[in-house]
Amino acid sequence: MTLSINLKLPNGVEYDQPLGLFINGEFVKGVEGKTFDVINPSTEKVICSVHEATEKDVDIAVRAARTAFEGEWHKITPAERGRLLCKLADLFEENLLKMASIEALDNGKSVSMAKGDVSAAAACLRYYGGWADKIHGKVIDTEHGKFNYTKQEPIGVCGQIIPWNFPILMWAWKIAPAVATGNVVVIKTSELTPLSALVAAELIVKAGFPPGVINILSGFGKTAGAAISSHMDVDKVAFTGSTVTGRTIMKAAANSNLKKVTLELGGKSPNIVFDDADIDEAISWVNFGIFYNHGQCCCAGSRIYVQEGIYDTFVEKFKKRIKENVVGDPFENETFQGPQISQLQFDKIMEYIEHGKTQGAKVEIGGKRHGDVGYFIEPTIFSNVDDSMKIMQEEIFGPVASIAKFKTVGDAIALGNKTTFGLASAVHTKNLETALTVANSLKAGTVWVNTYNTLHTALPFGGFKESGIGRELGKAALANYTQLKTVSMNMNGAMF
């Protein structure tokens, strides 16, 4: 199979899609010669096939990364690392429509939403580009005759494993802080959405990154992913995906070289609306909180709790609002919700919907497949739910939410925290005291007040409880990719 193919997209974008593994600055075929098909979730048809990385390719990529780390990359100044990241950000922006269209094709999100992802990816690359030459250690005084200082050194070869829900944005979240801090990377994209990162590989070459600093592999979790997380010469693994896979990766790290681990995992986030909230604004945010990206967000607000005074009005108005969400072709301008990513995800979500029905939850709206081609599901709301139900406890990762009533601030907090996850949450109220009390009491890495899903590159993001380890974004993410070295010098030769 060739290393690239010409693709013509429904919106007129035409380009050469790279298909190879990107190792040491070049596109290559996998050692075992394997390939796999990439499916368009809107049509269920094959877009193209890409080369597949197996354990041997991971090994080659890790060696290339190690050589870069010990060699050329080591000599590059922090300011130059920053300049390269900023240049890459510019190139992302120059290729905005092309990259967004690829995301629409491969992932199924609308082109307009995908443009937001590409812009956010560029912003992330530029933000960490800015950090590259501002990472300092400290001088620490202990006693006369001693000079002590700390340095924040890169960890080395970082293995990164990303999911399919925000292919290029997750790529940027992972690459940017790692490279800014002087690490090198072997990143594996999701087997469901490998295309945009391969185009980013071309931009890496154009930006002028030395070969081997960023290596990009298309491949499967159980083979290439497992090879990264258990590799003896990978110093750190950073993962975003399901909690189940996160556990597997942590075990692999523990059983190999005890590589450092950061995990950004699942969620079952509460979205709490008080009687005194602006009901129409709250509905807009609740709607965006669960149906944005077709419910395929680890921070999706899938448990909606509404105070009893406005509950009935809220449900009626919310149902009307949901009917305005246009479900359909990602290449149509007005589309808000595209297809789910795969047949497997579609089936899992439909199973949850059936389970909700058999457990006695009431379908307020939706609950069925949308159309008969592509993995489209109607936006779905369940009421009459209780906390023991599977649909209230497990991450569905689709356009399905449950709505329930609460009475007091105390009830809202208790219900919000009734989950093993702790990624995100929100509270809608005009009362500052209520907002602060709830925000301080929810056990979640992010609490949004009168908003939802409004992430920003400068704001740390990550999980309490079983939602993860470490923080992405903001200054906090630099800690994921640096290790502190203490140098303690004896200045006068005396022993004690």
Q: Is 229 in the site for ligand ADP (CB under 6 A)?
A: yes
Min CB(161)–ligand ADP separation in Å: 5
Sign of CA dihedral 402, 404, 409, 415: negative
Closer CB to ligand ADP, residue 81 or residue 236? 236
Stretch that binds ligand ADP, among 70-78, 135-143, 219-227, 325-333 (CB under 6 A): 219-227
Q: Are strands 14-18 and 270-273 parallel, antiparallel or unpaired?
A: unpaired
Shortest Cβ 265–ligand ADP spacing (Å): 8
Using the rule CB under 6 A, which residue among 52, 103, 117, 191 binds ligand ADP? 191
* Residues within window 246-305 making contact with ligand ADP, judged by CB under 6 A: 248-249
Instruction: Calculate the CA 278 to chain-centre distance.
Output: 30
Catalytic residue selected from 202, 264, 466, 472: 264
Q: Which amino acid is at 469?
A: I
Does 236 participate in binding ligand ADP (rule CB under 6 A)?
Answer: no
Coil, helix or strand at residue 424: coil
Q: How far is the CB of 44 from ligand ADP (least distance, A)?
A: 18
Phi-psi category of residue 106: left, alpha or beta, with phi > 0 → left and psi -120 to 50 → alpha: alpha
Cβ atoms of 121 and 114 within 8 Å: the answer is no
For 362-393, give one letter per residue: b (16+ CB within 10 A) or e: ebbbbbeebeeebbbbbbbbbbebeeebebbe
Contact flag: residue 398 with ligand ADP (CB under 6 A): no
Residue whose C-alpha is closest to residue 456's, from 476, 473, 468, 475: 473
Q: Which is nearer to ligand ADP, 197 or 392 (CB)?
A: 197
Confirm or reject binding of residue 221 to ligand ADP (CB under 6 A). Answer: yes
Q: Is 231 a residue that touches ligand ADP (CB under 6 A)?
A: no
Alpha helices by DSSP H, 221-269: 226-229, 243-255
Q: Select the residue interacting with ligand ADP from 242, 284, 359, 450 (CB under 6 A).
A: 242
Task: Provide the sign of the torsion angle of the four alpha carbons 212, 213, 214, 220, taken in this order.
Answer: positive
> Of the candidates 182, 211, 225, 295, which one interacts with ligand ADP according to CB under 6 A?
225
Q: Which is nearer to ligand ADP, 248 or 483 (CB)?
A: 248
How would you label 253-277 residue by residue, b for 16+ Cβ within 10 Å and e otherwise?
A: beeeeebbbbbbbbbbbbbbbbbeb
264 classed as catalytic: yes
The residue behind tokens 């450092």 is 260
User: Which one of 218-226, 299-307, 388-396, 442-450 is the stretch in contact with ligand ADP (CB under 6 A)?
Assistant: 218-226
Q: Work out which of 108, 129, 154, 163 binds ligand ADP, going by CB under 6 A.
A: 163
Q: To the nearest whole angstrom, how small is the minimum distance from the Cβ of residue 293 to ligand ADP?
A: 13
Task: Give me the residues that bind ligand ADP (CB under 6 A), please.
Answer: 161-163, 188, 190-191, 220-222, 225-226, 229, 241-242, 245, 248-249
Would you name the residues annotated as active-site residues? 264
